[in-house]
Amino acid sequence: MVAAKRLICPPAALLEAGMGVRFDVQHQGQPAAAFVVRWQGQPRAYLNRCGHIPVELDYQAGQFFDWNNEYLICATHGALYDPASGVCLGGRCNGVGLIPLTVIEEPEGIFLLEDADTDSKDTP
């Protein structure tokens, strides 16, 4: 099956370890919040859901990095995640990572790759 591309934002909207861009996806048949950030030069996208309990990570819209811009952080619980992989690094995520989404960068934008079965992206 060929994945469809959906524009999230222009490439210039994502600065290295800067503000993220929020967007919506379907996850397990339900609308869900998601976000994309730039880390190590690449766009990285995840469901906007803490591994501890399903609350959104950002304490201000688009603010996903900790104070040092090294880790993704849950503003509610302080759980830390690796921006490159979404893996839980510590805190109340109890070893449960973020759910990654597939994105690509092209000159005209950052795109979410969607297929008919978005549930296939449930594995962190």
pLDDT in tens, the chain (124 residues): 577 999 999 999 999 999 999 999 999 999 999 999 999 999 999 999 998 888 999 989 999 999 999 999 999 989 999 999 999 999 888 889 999 999 999 999 999 998 754 443 443 3
Could you give the count of Cα atoms lying within 13 Å of 111 in the half-sphere of its Cβ? 13
Token pair recorded at residue 94: 């109890």
CATH of domain 4-117: 2.102.10.10
Q: Residue 124: CB partners within 8 Å, gap ≥ 6?
A: 51, 86, 87, 96, 97, 98, 99, 100
pLDDT value, residue 52: 86
pLDDT at 5: 95
Amino acid at 23: F
Q: Domain residues of the chain, as ranges?
A: 4-117
Question: pTM of the predicted model, to two decimals?
Answer: 0.90
Cross-strand partners of 10: none
Joined tokens for residue 108: 């005209």
